[in-house]
Amino acid sequence: MDALSSTFLSTLSQHPKSLLSFNNNNYYSPNTSSFTLKVFSIGGEEPIPSPPKREPIPSRKPSFPSNIFNAFDDFVNTYIDPPRKSCVDPKYVLSDNFAPVDELPPTECKVMEGSLPSCLDGTYIRNGPNPQYLPCGPYHLFDGDGMLHSIKISQGKAMFCSRFVKTYKYYIENEADFQIIPNFNPTNGVGLANTSLALFGDKLFALDGDIITLGRHNFNGKLVRSMTAHDPKTNEAFAYRYGPFPPFLTYFRVDPNGIKTLDVPIFSIKRMNPIKFILTGGSLVGMNSRKISRLGVIPRYAKDESEMRWFDVPGFNNLHAINAWEEVGGDTIVLVAPNILSVEHTLERMDMIHECVEKVKINLNSGVVSRHPISTRNLDFGVINPTYVGKKNKYVYAAIGYPPPKLSGIVKLDVSIAEVDRRDCIVACKIFGEGCFCGEPFFVAKNNLEADEDDGYVMLYVHSEKTGESNFLVMDATSPNLDIVANVKLPRRVPYGFHGIFVRESDLNKVCIYIYIYIYIYIYIS
């Protein structure tokens, strides 16, 4: 099959020569950071309403139509057409800490261990799926409404809150008081806004540690569909979107002033087949042994597809690339990314996949591609010091699959270890113990321009399935055991989710920033 990585496009480096086709989940830009957010989801109306008045969240019983609808839906899905696979059975998918939670207004937290460093004054926010209404029919883990779980740190104290991203789907279901299928309108957006966040632009509104959705942004009408992007130091967004209809992949750029450039459609990807999934009920991701995985390279200021180059990388299937940079004067591209083994199980049997982090080198002159493993351990959600995005870096912090989607701990990798050593690059490890699972880590550097690359802290949410409690942990990134610096008990559990971001409070008065919500569309590739 064509590599998943050949349909995920993002930025490579600061060098204007080329871009690499991969999805980089280091979404923090060191030039633009801010605090507590009004959130925008991508691709809709331009007008932005005034900030809504905050009121206590009302508790209400399901309406009569809601009860009737849900009873009928439950009857159909229980006796007539029940979900055929556990991966889409809501009773299975939404069990334990995958179960959704209600919104929570800003609530003070208790620091149970250590203390919160003053250089971490700011806010950590993590996105994830959290269905507003429990589904009766087929439901995949990635199908939930987006919910942001935010912890504000200020002068050693912490305040936590959880808020839905108010998409079109959220509003119509909230008004109806039950799940609605279909629940989208192409003119108002089709996304769940449940995957990630990024900083870009010049507008952000702060409000006492809370998170308020103001509306959706479409770059003055120039963006009619979903997108994902990365914001490098140039303060540009190099973005892509992909979908079930030609062109399956489209590349474009947004300049520092928020002006979107013309689309560059990539027609050389021709083998997506959503119809097969619809007709056969098969997996959204398939494996075709007759196809060879490819990585695509395109100049960042490309005007058309003719500038795109594809390189065969047999057996390489990447979803969450960690970093990439150029070497040898731009003639060689280096990519660090996990390779998904048994990729056909990616969405159905995540417990059967294994992700081996690899370093891939592409010689743009000879076309030769070389690879070697960095670690044989099952790792994903790798992050780096954000100031090294697109530049040669040494350290990576990644979560350990237990197997996925549960994550039992994190490791620190030294990717500078020479290929000739052929040894595992893990240099530090933290396992959270029996029944304890974490989310994606995030690295925050200390406020010291002279600091080493790893001089900072790793933060994440951890949940204990024994006690039902969730905590926010801050760890010393330089210590061999990733020692805990601060342990904050959260007022209620945080469901397992996806990607996060940290924004410093000190930058609040310097710049205002949009927070973009990424919308994933999962496509069958034949």
The strand pairing partners of 476, in sequence order, are 457
Q: What is the C-alpha separation between 526 and 276, in angstroms, rounded?
A: 9
Q: Which residue has the tokens 């989607």?
A: 405
Q: Locate tokens 């029940």: which residue?
A: 82
140 marked as binding residue: no
Which residue do the tokens 């076309």 mark? Answer: 367
Paired tokens of 176: 């109806």
Among residues 310, 329, 349, 278, which one has the least CA distance to residue 92?
349
Q: 281: buried, middle or exposed (CB in 10 Å: 19+, 13-18, 0-12)?
A: exposed
Long-range contacts of 249-258 (CB under 8 A, 24+ apart): 249/7, 249/9, 251/9, 251/298, 251/302, 252/227, 253/300, 253/301, 254/200, 254/219, 254/229, 258/200, 258/201, 258/202, 258/219
Task: List Cβ neighbours of 450 (8 Å cut-off, separation of 6 or more).
Answer: none
Is 345 annotated as ligand-binding?
A: no
Burial class of residue 103, CB neighbours in 10 A (0-12, 13-18, 19+): middle
Local structure of 413: helix, strand or coil: strand
Cβ proximity of 128 and 109 under 8 Å: no
Alpha-carbon distance of 145 to 189, in angstroms, equals 13
Residue 200 phi/psi, 5-degree rounding, is -165, 145
Supply the DSSP symbol for 51. Answer: P
CA distance 316 to 338: 9
Confirm or deny that 499 is annotated as ligand binding: yes
- Is 334:359 a contact under the CB 8 Å cutoff? yes
- Terminal C-alpha separation, the chain: 6
Tokens matching residue 361 = 């080198």
> Do residues 43 and 305 make contact, with C-beta atoms less than 8 angstroms apart?
no
Paired residues of 107 in beta bridges = 160
The conformation of residue 219, written as its DSSP 8-state character, comes to: T
Detail the residues annotated as belonging to a binding site. Answer: 230, 320, 499
Detail the residues annotated as belonging to a binding site for Fe cation. Answer: 230, 320, 499
